[in-house]
Chain A
Amino acid sequence: MLKQLLASVALLACASAASAEVKVGLITTLSGGGAGLGIDTRDGFMLAVEEAGRDDLEVVVEDDQQKPDVAVQIADRMIQSDKVDLLTGIVWSNLAMAVVPSATAQGLFYLSTNAAPAQLAGKGCNPNYFSVSYQNDNLHEAAGAYATSADFKKTFILAPNYPAGKDSLNGFKRFFKGELAGEIYTKLGQTDYAAEIAQIRASGADSVFFFLPGGMGISFLKQYADSGVDLPLVGPAFSFDQNILQAVGDAALGVKNTSQWNKDLENEANAHFVEAYLAKYDRLPSLYSAQGYDTALLMLSAMDKADITDKDAFRAALEEADFASVRGDFEFSASHHPIQDIYVREVIKEGDILTNKIVGTAIEDRGHAYEDECKM
């Protein structure tokens, strides 16, 4: 009898110890061409985790190789054998669409460090899904707003032919009041833009908006600079992020781009973040690093307030977003997407290093276009 009692007490003790522990699955891209983005996400996230120094938190990191099928396998394994409570880290929207709906349906929390497709913001929104970064359209909308305020009359727009590319051009058009000189969908992964640049030259445009993430943007910018076409360029932050600017070189100098964060944003959290990141990893943080860091801060703030086994309490704690964001003010809309200012940055040179500085605000307190479609 005593033995049984002792055993059940021991069991209970184990169970309560296990429930106090939060287990996080970080799925991101750590190999292949897109690895830079995932590495920055991970490093930003882990910086906040290490600074918190909590012993009731465990993070499992896995590489999704930028492949949806791999991401799904990893998520399944993390949910079933690692028993994680919360998933995060996915960079690419197509991977997020493969993982997030099934994870949230199984009752897990998903905090997005980057990908925030329209489907998950509108009809497919979920109480357990939070986007800490933005809604995918936001930076493109801000670019449209900036192009309008810069008094561009005839803009040539281009993006890759895939869902995020279409969202990009639609987002831009939503806030751009001028006329379009042309609209092109390029092939995803295209590396030569000579043909598109020739069309831009022939179109009589007065400015160019482009969304070409990763290597595509590097190729486009180098070729554009060499073509002799010197119309002003506008784009979302992705092609001007800290981790790829050095590969673009001086071709990027002076280009205006939109972002919800930059390293010179004046607030205490950001100053600390930039300094700590530089000290720890010996490189400047990128937008992805900042998003990873903020996501971890949000999660830690919720852990202070509620036990993750009490899902409703933990969700309410997340909704409060009671943390010092590197973006300054931060709050969630009803659909769990940020309401935030989006800035215009300009590429400059600090010594030998290319970086950005904020030159204005494109849109203030922007939520997103799909808010009304979200019923939860």
Chain B
Amino acid sequence: MTPILIAEQVLNGLQSGVMLFLMAAGLTLIFGVMGLINLAHGSLYMVGAFAAAATAAVTGSFLLALVAALAAAAAAGALVERLVIRRLYDRDHLDQVLATFALILIFSEGTRWIFGSFPLYLDIPEALSGPVTLPGGIQYPLYRLFIIGMGLVVAALLFWLIARTRLGIRIRAGENDREMIAALGVDIARLYTLVFALGAALAGLAGALVGAIQSVQVGMGEPVLILAFVVIVIGGIGSIEGALVGAILVGLTDTLGGIFLPQIFGLFMDPAAATQTGAALASMAIYVLMAAVLVWKPTGLFGAKS
């Protein structure tokens, strides 16, 4: 266990954290502003990845692929909001869960119908491939550093959008009192579509960025969706700051737990048993973290006091 290995793992945790943030930010915005539980958020992540892979295959440009991912996910989000989600705002959460679960199935089979059953190819652009040597002699893939940078830039833009722009004021007002901002003449229906499309675009961007180092396949969004829900529960539902802190906490716990728990057990158990116990506990680590946070702060780290 060298310091270099530890530093590399912290970077890995950070990278998975910022990607989770892109997913969780949209989820928490949509829940905060519209009170809607959107299980289909993972599908928008998948839409982004597929749009990027298809565009990259045709044009060969990674930049265009990212733009296509943003556009396709935002368009899918806006469409879904107008056609389906709009009818669900006044329903209870169970109806929302049911309808958005149906959307997952429709998106998955629809994607399979268009792109086929086999995973698609999306690769890292030439300029960003390969490892770089960081100070201290850490060899780290350049693309992962790019992802971390990209995630942090998007996070900064999002904070600026919410804190400093008119749209941000409306979003925050919408979180506090829906009826009042409608009474003040804000077109609430348009605001909802916009927020939904924004959240979808963030998920699509995450899908495209991660798709380049993973497998672009049907159903790729659902495992991330589960983590994103853990993130927003830890961070406090509706809070963007909470989503950022929660995402990085979950990213670090998940990565470091998977590495260090088996080694800690290895100190007092035989190697095979330690690997098994460690691996089993590591997959529980983020849920233990969530439970601990909820005991300490029942509404999450940045949750509203209710």
Contacts and interface: CB of A to CB of B under 8 A. Distances in A.
Interface of A: 30-33, 35-36, 39, 161, 183-187, 189, 191-192, 194-195, 198-199, 201-202, 214-216, 218-219, 222-223, 226-228, 243-244, 246-249
A187 B258 CA distance: 9
Contact of A189 (B5, B144, B213, B223): B223
Q: Which of A183, A191, A216 has the most CB atoms of chain B within a 10 A radius of its CB?
A: A191
Nearest to A286: B118
A195 B9 contact: yes
A184 B275 contact: yes
Closest 10 CB pairs of A and B: A228-B131, A215-B215, A218-B215, A247-B119, A35-B117, A33-B219, A194-B12, A185-B279, A219-B214, A36-B117
Contacts of A214: 215, 217
Contact of B130 (A199, A228, A244): A228
Interface stretch (B72-80, B120-128, B171-179): B120-128
Nearest to A228: B131
B255 A194 contact: yes
Contacts of A35: 112, 117, 218
A305 B217 CA distance: 44
Contacts of A223: 141, 213-214
Contact of B259 (A161, A192, A195, A215): A195
B39 to A, nearest CB: 16
A227 B220 contact: no
Nearest to B118: A36
Contact of B219 (A32, A187, A201, A222): A32
Contacts of A39: 117
Contacts of A216: 215
B256 to A, nearest CB: 8
Contact of B112 (A31, A161, A183): A31
B110 to A, nearest CB: 12
Chain B interface mostly helix, strand, loop or mixed? Answer: helix
Interface in B179-225: 210, 212-220, 223
B143 interface: yes
Contacts of B143: 226
B5 A198 contact: yes
> In this complex, which of B119, B139, B220, B280 has the most chain A Cβ atoms within 10 angstroms of its Cβ?
B119
Contacts of B165: none
B109 A31 contact: yes
Given A32-B108, A191-B223, A226-B124, 17 more contacts: A32-B218, A32-B219, A36-B119, A184-B279, A185-B276, A189-B223, A191-B215, A194-B141, A195-B255, A198-B12, A202-B2, A202-B5, A219-B215, A223-B213, A223-B214, A227-B141, A248-B121
A229 to B, nearest CB: 8
A161 B144 CA distance: 26
Nearest to A33: B219
A350 B287 CA distance: 47
Highest count of chain A CB atoms <10 Å: which of B9, B12, B129, B214: B214
B16 interface: yes
Given A187-B258, A191-B223, A215-B215, A222 B283 contact: no
Contacts of A243: 118
A201 B218 CA distance: 31
A8 B133 CA distance: 87
A195 B280 contact: no
B15 interface: yes
Contacts of B15: 194
A325 B44 CA distance: 45
Contacts of A186: 258, 279
A247 B120 contact: yes
Nearest to B223: A189
